[in-house]
A and B are shown apart, each in its own frame.
Chain A
Amino acid sequence: MTETPQHHGFGSMRRKEDARFIRGRGTFVDDIKLPGMLHGAILHSPHAHARILSVDTGAAEAHPKVKAVITGEVLAAMGLAWMPTLSGDVQAVLATDKVRFQGQEVAFVIAEDHYSARDAIELINVEYDALPVVSDARTAMDEEAPVIRDDLEGRTDNHIFDWEAGDRARTDEVFAGADVVLSQDMLYPRVHPAPLETCGIVADMDKVTGKLTVWATTQAPHAHRTLYALVTGLPEHKIRVISPDIGGGFGNKVGIYPGYVCSIVGSIVTGKPVKWMEDRSENLMTTSFARDYHMSGSIAATRDGKVLGVRVTTLADHGAFNGTAQPTKFPAGFFHVFTGSYDMQAAHCEVTGVYTNKAPGGVAYACSFRITEAVYLVERLIDLLAAELDVDPAELRLKNLLQPEQFPYTCATGWEYDSGDYATTLRLALDMAGYDALRKEQAEKRARGELMGIGISFFTEAVGAGPRKHMDIMGLGMADGAELRVHPTGKAVLRISVQSQGQGHETTFAQIVAEELGIPADDVEVVHGDTDQTPFGLGTYGSRSTPVSGAATAVVTRKVRERARLVAGAMLEADPGDLEWDAGRWFVRGDRTSGVTIQQIAMAAHGDLELPEGVEGHLDATTVYNPPNLTFPYGAYICVVDVDAGTGKVSVQRFIAVDDCGVRINPMIVEGQVHGGLADGIGMALMQVMAFDEQGNHLGASFMDYLLPTSMECPSWELGATVTPSPHHPLGAKGVGESATVGSPAAVVNAVVDALKPYGVRHADMPLTPANVWRTIQGSPFRTDLAIT
Chain B
Amino acid sequence: MQVPSHFEYERAADVEQVLALLARYGPEARVVAGGHSLLPMMKLRLAAPDALIDINDVSELSYIRVERDELLIGTLVRHAELLDSPVAAEHFPIFREAERVIADPLVRNRGTVGGSLCQADPSEDLSAAFAAVRASAVIRNAEGSRTVPLREFHVGPYETVVGDGELLTEFRVPIKPGGSSAYEKVGRRAGDWALAAAGAAIWLDGGNVADVGIGLTAVGAAHFVAAEAEEYLRGRPADDESFAQAGRIAAEHCRPTADQRGPVDYKRHLAGELTTRALRRAAERART
Partner-B contacts on A (CB < 8 A): 114-115, 118-119, 122, 277, 279-281, 646-649, 686-687, 691, 699-700, 702, 704-705, 707, 709-710, 712-713, 769-771, 774-775, 782, 787-789
Contacts and interface: CB of A to CB of B under 8 A. Distances in A.
Contacts of A789: 258, 263
Contacts of B24: none
A646 B273 contact: yes
B1 A774 contact: no
30 contacts: A114-B3, A115-B3, A118-B3, A118-B5, A119-B5, A280-B2, A281-B44, A647-B273, A647-B274, A686-B189, A699-B260, A700-B260, A705-B260, A707-B188, A710-B104, A710-B189, A713-B190, A769-B261, A770-B195, A770-B266, A771-B195, A771-B262, A771-B266, A771-B267, A774-B262, A782-B263, A788-B258, A788-B259, A788-B260, A789-B263
Nearest to B260: A699
Contacts of B104: 710
Given A647-B186, A687-B189, A788 B45 contact: no
Which of A279, A699, A771, A789 has the most chain B CB within a 10 Å cutoff? A771
A709 B189 contact: yes
Given A699-B260, A782-B263, A789-B258, A770 B2 contact: no
Nearest to A771: B262
A436 B133 CA distance: 48
B172 to A, nearest CB: 32
Contacts of A122: 5, 45
Nearest to A769: B188
Contacts of B188: 686-687, 707, 769-770
Contacts of B45: 122
A686 B261 CA distance: 12
A647 B270 contact: yes
A279 B267 CA distance: 32
Contacts of B263: 771, 775, 782, 788-789
B262 A788 contact: yes
Given A647-B270, A770-B188, A775-B266, 11 more contacts: A114-B1, A118-B5, A122-B45, A277-B1, A281-B2, A281-B44, A647-B274, A704-B193, A710-B190, A770-B262, A771-B267
A713 B189 contact: yes
A705 B104 CA distance: 16
A712 B270 contact: no
Nearest to B48: A122
Contacts of A712: 189-191
A605 B273 CA distance: 79
Nearest to A711: B190
Nearest to A198: B1
Interface in B179-225: 186, 188-193, 195
B236 interface: no
Interface in B255-288: 258-263, 266-267, 269-270, 273-274, 277
Given A699-B260, A704-B193, A710-B190, A774 B266 contact: yes
Contacts of A119: 5-6
B266 A648 contact: yes
Interface string B99-110: 000001000000
Nearest to A702: B44
Contacts of A774: 262, 266, 269-270
A709 B191 CA distance: 10
B41 to A, nearest CB: 12
Nearest to A691: B260
A281 to B, nearest CB: 7
Contacts of B260: 691, 699-700, 705, 787-788
Nearest to A280: B2
Interface in B71-127: 104
A435 B192 CA distance: 33
A348 to B, nearest CB: 36
Contacts of B266: 648, 770-771, 774-775
8 tightest A-B contacts by CB?
A: A771-B262, A712-B190, A279-B2, A771-B266, A646-B273, A647-B186, A687-B188, A710-B190
B255 to A, nearest CB: 16
Contacts of A115: 3, 6
A332 to B, nearest CB: 29
B200 to A, nearest CB: 16
Contacts of B277: 646
Nearest to B266: A771
A53 B100 CA distance: 51
A774 B270 CA distance: 10
Nearest to A784: B260
A704 B44 CA distance: 13
Contacts of B186: 647-649, 770
Contacts of B6: 115, 119
Nearest to B190: A712
Contacts of A775: 263, 266
A535 to B, nearest CB: 35
A788 B262 CA distance: 7
Interface string B43-63: 011000000000000000000
A702 B2 CA distance: 12
B221 to A, nearest CB: 18
Nearest to B191: A710
Contacts of A649: 186
A707 B189 contact: yes
A647 B267 CA distance: 9
A122 B5 CA distance: 10
Nearest to A789: B258
A712 B190 CA distance: 6
A699 B195 CA distance: 16
